[in-house]
Every structure is written in structure tokens, then in C-alpha cells.
Amino acid sequence: MLSAKMQQAFNEQINAEFWSAYLYLSMSLDAANKGYKGISNWFAIQFKEEQAHAQIFINYVLSRGGKVELAAIDGVPTEWESPLAMFRATLEHEKKVTSLIHNLCSIAAEEHDFASSNKLVWFVDEQIEEEENAQDIISSLEQVDDSKLGLYMVDKELAARTYAVPSPLAGKEE
Ligand code: MG
């Protein structure tokens, strides 16, 4: 059984994961509106990944006999001035998510909830990847320095991204 404090913290994280999903869907739509099909694809996959993160937490809370209570999802920005601005906002957001995950780890440690500590290891690793991915794309966009040809090339590259079900959900959906 999860402690009340741990359950509350996981519920807040579930909401944060859905907010992330909503943010990335908004970026995907903004990119599509501006003709960046590849960037739109990249963020559409990010949207799916964030929903999967929420599902992993939901499954975990249920597996521990806890209760999931879905709260309202706050609004998100709807427009960014450039692809670079979008990926810089992504990196900033992922840094915040990393601190949320680390805070969950601290609560699990305080509560002596070793099962939750173990479950969170995957998310700690995932955040390294999330920040690295955003940083790599920022670096590419900085190199092309807003040139139309450069943006075209980066957009083409991001069109190739495909969705993979995160390993904690493998075999549980799709
Ligand atoms: Mg996430």
C-alpha cells in the first residue's frame, strides 16, 4: 500500500505528465500550421510518450492498491516564434520534469518506499535522454542559424522519428 503522501505525489506527477503531453501536442500543431511536418511529427511522438509516462504511473499506483484521481489539466501556450524557441522551451520544460522526478525520489526515500524508489529509476534515466534529445536538436538548429535550407534539413531529419512503446509498458498496450 502506498502512503498518503506518496499517492498524492504520484497523482500530481500523473497530472504533470498529461500537461507535458498537452504542451507537446500544442507544439506539434503549431509546427504543422507553419509547414514543419518533421518537427510536427517529432512532437506528435513526444505527445504519445508523455501519455505513456502517465500510464506507467497510473498502472503503478493501481498495482500498489492506490487510487488515481485525475485533476484538470492547465492550459498551454499555442505559438512559438521559431523551431529553435520551441526546442529551447522543450529543454527548459524537461529540466523542470527532471526536478519533479527527483523530488518523487526524495519522497520515496523519506517514506522508506523502496518499491517506488525502484520504479522511479526508469524515469530518472528517461530524463537524461529527454534533456539530451532536446539539447541535440537545439545544437543542430543553432548550427543552421535559421537558414531556410538548414531548417528544411532538420525538419526532414525529425520526420524520420518513430514511436516506440516505452519498456515499462511493453506488452501491456498496442
Ligand atoms: Mg514525461
Residue 14 CA, ligand 1 centroid: distance in Å? 9
The pLDDT score that the predictor gives to residue 173 is 58
Q: Which residue has the higher pLDDT, 60 or 174?
A: 60
Residues 153-168, mean pLDDT to the nearest whole number: 95
Residue 174 has pLDDT above 60, yes or no: no
Asked whether the beta carbons of 50 and 18 are under 8 A apart, the reply is yes
Q: Which of 164, 72, 80, 90 is nearest to 134 (CA)?
A: 90
Q: Give the global pTM.
A: 0.95
Evaluate whether 50 touches 21 at the Cβ level (below 8 Å): yes
Q: How far is the CA of 149 from the centre of ligand 1 (A)?
A: 32
Share of the chain above pLDDT 70, in %: 99
Considering only residues 145 and 152, tell me which one the structure prediction assigns the higher pLDDT: 152
CATH domain 4-164 topology: Ferritin (1.20.1260)
Q: What is the pLDDT of residue 88?
A: 98
**Is residue 1 very low, low, confident or very high in pLDDT (cuts 50, 70, 90)?**
confident
> How far separated are the first and last CA of the chain, in Å rounded?
29
97 alpha carbon to ligand 1 midpoint, in Å? 7
Ligand 1 center from residue 94 Cα (angstroms):
8
